[in-house]
Structure 1
Amino acid sequence: MDSSSSSPSPLIHPLTSPIPVDLFVSKKRLSLNLKFNDACGNLVFRVDDQQPTNHDRVLLDANNNPLIFIDRNTHGGWEGFGSGGELIFKVEKKFVSKLWKGEIELDVYQVSNGGAASAKDAGDVIKVKGSPFHRSCTIYRGNSIMAQTSLLYKLGKLTTGRRKFRVTMFPGLVDQALIVSLIVIFFDR
């Protein structure tokens, strides 16, 4: 067995910026169709749940090319598949009930080219923790923060809409498509 079969799958859409990058997310009412725009308003990613495929969600790039197919599995978790059908990651969802906050925690295991859950074996688990209601979550790899979401607040406004929020991705070995997929899973009802 060669060493390439035990390494995690390659980055689909790597973040190469040396500074944090913000994407602004907008959600349509009563659906999980999401758009991820950069600071200039350019579309970077789009998530569609109305695609003519057998998958629950499809992450598309700005040119409508499918990047990741996201499916709910029979055990209540999620799986992400690349455009070639290869398994990229598995997600286990946990509800952490802290009174009225309704916090959720996800454990994400990246899958190696050989099909084994490499993170589960190596202890390198990506964790997503936060509150979907408040549109806030933090994505960790070990003790490092990979990304965070937060609502967009406006000066002079007491209430904030929950259909628009921000994703801040921090520098390092971060796959933007993976982060966006995890956010889609996190905010799914």
Structure 2
Amino acid sequence: MITMDGKREEEVDKTNMELETSESSYPGSGSLHIPIDLFGSKKHAGAPRGVLAFADALGNILFTVNRHPPNRNYKKKLLLDASGNIIFSIYRHEKGSWKCYKGNGDGDKDLVFRVERTLKTLTRVELEVFFDGERPNNEGCDLKLRGSPFQRSCSIYKDTDLVAQASLMYKLHQLYVSRGKFCLTIFPGTLDNALVVALFVIFLNGRK
């Protein structure tokens, strides 16, 4: 079948796929069609007590965060999938900067993104995210994170679009809200769930 502009449909589909690939320069990116909620806690039944885990609405553990013994130059965390496979290695360096690598890597070829803290107050933290690759004309950051790590409140933006948002688990007429459990909502877009979780894990340590 021929389209109005004279291209075959399969050629148009191929062009669209190439455009999508070129716009997604980091591993694991893809299109999400509906918002999803992930519930974070260190008390999930399916994870060791004290280990931060993220579960779906049915209580299935999707991601866990493992800490490594601190190094003199950095602190390291691993983001694991439901089977215990390492998705990302997150390194926190001095002066409010982080680097995230694929798998258990730590070299330039495995770098996915880096994060720089731009604001830190008692109640607010702001971070900027830069994906790996050349940045022509000194362009700005790819994503911004804003909110309060203490309150588990975080909004992730790509330009003016809201990518994800986290908040505590409030209940009607509840006087005291525990910080032990929170909800991370990921909106439709181009960011992979694991990548958003990795960003939020960094944000939780943004005040340090």
TM-score, normalised on structure 1? 0.81
* Identity across matched positions, percent: 40
3-state SS, counterpart of residue 178 of structure 1: helix
3-state SS, counterpart of residue 157 of structure 1: coil
Q: Which has the larger radius of gyration?
A: 2
Moved more, 62-71 or 118-127: 118-127
Greater RCO structure (CA 8 Å; 6+ sep): 1
- Match of residue 21, structure 1, among 24, 36, 40: 36
In the alignment, what sits opposite 1:37? 55
- Match of residue 106, structure 1, among 105, 121, 127: 127
Alignment coverage as a number of residue pairs: 175
Check if 1:11 corresponds to 2:11. no
3-state SS, counterpart of residue 56 of structure 1: strand
Displacement of 1:123 in angstroms is 3.0
Moved more, 145-154 or 76-85: 76-85
Check if 1:131 corresponds to 2:155. no
TM-score, normalised on structure 2? 0.74
Structure 1, unpaired ranges of 5+: none
Q: Distance in 2 between matches of 1:186 and 1:119?
A: 27
Q: CA RMSD in A?
A: 2.9
In the alignment, what sits opposite 2:183? 166
Q: 1:6-155 to 2 correspondence within 5 Å? A: 8-11=25-28, 14=30, 16-27=31-42, 33-50=51-68, 56-83=76-103, 85=105, 86-97=110-121, 102-112=123-133, 116=134, 118=135, 121-155=138-172
Displacement of 1:94 in angstroms is 2.7
Runs of 4+ in structure 1 displaced over 4 angstroms? 4-7
